[in-house]
Amino acid sequence: MFQSISSFITAPQTFVVLQVLVVTLFVALLFIWSTYNAFVAKMNQVKNDFSDIVVELQRRTSLIEQLVLMVKEYAKHEKGTYENVAKARSALDTSKSIDDTVKAENMITDTLRSLFAVVENYPDLKAQENFKSVMSSLEDTENRVAKYREGYNITVQRYNNSVEMFPSNLIAKLFNFKSEDYFKVDAQNIK
């Protein structure tokens, strides 16, 4: 009554089943390999885009330091502004995460606001060519920071979609890829 399985499956059928299993395994491994490499490429792009922001924020801080030195000649009592720039630079240099960098960026923005308030009291300073040149460079840097922030957030969105969407989320869990944070600016720093 019970016959062995081997009597139902002939040698050619066994070969076909084996071929299907090998092809299925190959396709699964190819999917894992290509998805893993896509995650690595996307993560590297996230890191690259983040470093672009940090470079521009450091440039921005240097320009603000130049402005502070110019203002210092006019306003000897504004020592606190220079100290705030130094604190912001230190916070940026030691930031280890996106949150730390955002906090440093917010400190820089606050310092810049207070610096502009001081500059308003000195029309002669605003008329100097050197001051105008630094302000122009600062404006260019601000535009690049905004552009790089937007690019970073787009890259993070693409990466996070891959981490969270099926079937690539299975590979993300397997290799411990986690969602990344967006670069968010405090609402009070948006003009």
Distance CA 126, CA 136 (A): 12
Q: Tell me: the pLDDT tens digits for 86-140?
A: 888 888 888 888 888 888 888 888 888 888 887 887 777 777 888 889 899 999 9
* 139 burial level (CB within 10 Å; 0-12, 13-18, 19+): exposed
Write down the residue that tokens 């220079």 correspond to: 82
pLDDT at 9: 60
Give yes or no for residue 4 having a pLDDT over 70.
no
Query: pTM of the entire structure?
Result: 0.78
Q: Tell me: the pLDDT tens digits for 53-101?
A: 999 999 999 998 888 888 777 766 566 777 877 888 888 888 888 888 8
**CA 85 from centre of chain:** 23
Range of the domain at 132: 5-189
* CATH number where 126 lies: 1.20.1440.20
Q: Tell me: the pLDDT tens digits for 12-38?
A: 778 888 899 999 999 999 999 999 999
Distance CA 70, CA 130 (A): 9
Which of the two residues, 4 and 109, has the higher pLDDT score? Answer: 109
Tally the domains of the chain.
1
Q: Tell me: the pLDDT tens digits for 144-166?
A: 999 999 999 999 999 999 999 99
